[in-house]
Chains A and B, each alone.
Chain A
């Protein structure tokens, strides 16, 4: 699980050292405590705040026990600390599925943030956050993004936090180099935070909310202090900015912002339908079932109830023509929304909000214009400016 990480080697040495010590017969009592703690967790229902308190308390108890343990007699602060890191990793790896992104609320928030970032990605540019040109460095940003995107490759809070720290370190190097080469006074947080926010949006790190919450709750408390705490807080801050982001948050015309968000929403709908159609066997796909539910189980749409085994060759032909029809209608709709000459004066232009609306609008129309299929691909490759 560590293989993706650059720091994995030192991290695993640390961890194997801990495991080695635990295999020593002398540490039997410690092993027993650890095992019974993990078992005790399986029998209680999840409650993040309470669970965090229990885990942190256990870390403290174990810290005291290890400090007095003969196996660690004469150990340096570093060795002792490594053992504690090993303990954190062991416990949290075992308890991961029980403690990470555990509530439906967390899952929902993760989804919402990820979707919002996805929309923002399609039009947000560094200028919108007033990031000066000399700090715009695609290569550094990409490295920083990759660090954030690694976060789910790890289960130990320490390693997840390490991804954040590495991302921030890369940004800081960029700021430092820029200030040297541009002879610019280092801007501190005035420069740092906007770049971190931009990098976070470009990265769209998986389960951002849950990862932050997990680190906050389960990283050994005495380690989430000082510099780590500062950079951790900056990512919390970036997340919070993204969640609250509206037309007023950016250096961007408010109407332009709203229009860009609408266009991005529609674009993402198109991609979803395309992905759906691309499966060539849409009827059996789970998304198709989802769609069926969305339209109140109405059967105006042929094949919605069909199973793959029931289809004949004629059905395939008919499905293809239906597919073309849907795509055509969709692309016309997209064009209508993409060139909303009337939106500024007539904001009531019917902009479809979701798949349901679009499908309802398509209902009853079945003209086939296959040539227009091309258009969808243009729509899909909606320009993404950095």
Chain B
């Protein structure tokens, strides 16, 4: 099964698959390219959110990525800016927590996800917020995402707790459901709007 992937493939000759002009972070003022890191306990649905976002706006011209832990997706904002999100997933298990700085270094956006049915994951989300405030880039845009909103009968973290915590920490807050696709696109559009624009020089 894995054989095909070790065979020569001319299209993989160019690693990363990016145009020279496109690389190096921000491409130009109208076409942003940003690194987004996903943090949160394992099982909160980090990768489901991304898969939903990427599949929901399937772009046949976009280069297919090799896995579900790195994905990229471009969206157009109302002001005719495009934002290409390069989404870096992180392993949420506790034993890998110390490795997170390797991933969030240089990220413009951190999306911190918890599961509304699990208070422990909300606690873990708060841990990530503090960690990023201490060690992340000072102008990183942070979003707090309460996922699995479709499971309201099992809810254990009140919406208001998420809102309050996000407000206190100057973050954008949204409740999503990767299962029903609720608020998934809104999440990324809101993030896009909040991105600092490169000066128009």
A interface with B by C-beta (< 8 Å): 6-11, 14, 77-78, 80-81, 85, 130, 139-140, 143-144, 146-147, 158, 161-162, 165-166, 168-177, 179, 185-190, 192-194, 221-231, 233-234, 236-237, 240-241, 244, 249-250
- Which candidate, B43-51, B126-134, B137-145, B189-197, is the interface stretch facing chain A? B43-51
Interchain CB contact under 8 A, B68 and A170: no
The residue on B at minimum CB distance from A9 is B8
Interchain CB contact under 8 A, A170 and B2: yes
Interchain CB contact under 8 A, B14 and A188: no
Given contacts A227-B66, A230-B70, contact A190 B20 (CB under 8 A): no
The residue on B at minimum CB distance from A241 is B99
A185 contact set on B, CB distance < 8 A: 47-48
B interface with A by C-beta (< 8 Å): 1-10, 12-20, 23-25, 38, 42-43, 46-48, 50-51, 65-70, 72, 86, 88-93, 95-96, 98-99, 102-103
The residue on B at minimum CB distance from A190 is B42
A233 contact set on B, CB distance < 8 A: 88, 102-103
Interchain CB contact under 8 A, A231 and B70: yes
Given contacts A10-B13, A227-B66, contact A173 B19 (CB under 8 A): no
A228 contact set on B, CB distance < 8 A: 15-16
A194 contact set on B, CB distance < 8 A: 91, 93
The residue on B at minimum CB distance from A251 is B95
A175→B18 CA distance, assembly (Å): 25
Interchain CB contact under 8 A, B16 and A10: no
B91 contact set on A, CB distance < 8 A: 189-190, 192-194
Interchain CB contact under 8 A, A186 and B42: no
24 A/B residue pairs, CB under 8 Å, sorted by A = A7-B9, A7-B13, A10-B13, A78-B14, A80-B20, A81-B14, A140-B2, A143-B2, A147-B6, A165-B66, A169-B6, A187-B42, A188-B38, A189-B69, A193-B99, A194-B91, A222-B20, A223-B15, A223-B23, A225-B18, A226-B72, A227-B16, A233-B102, A241-B99
Determine which residue in B8, B46, B91 has the highest number of CB atoms from chain A within 10 A of its CB, and name it: B91
Known: A233-B102, A237-B96. 9 other contacts (CB 8 A): A6-B6, A85-B13, A139-B2, A170-B5, A187-B68, A189-B92, A190-B46, A226-B23, A230-B70
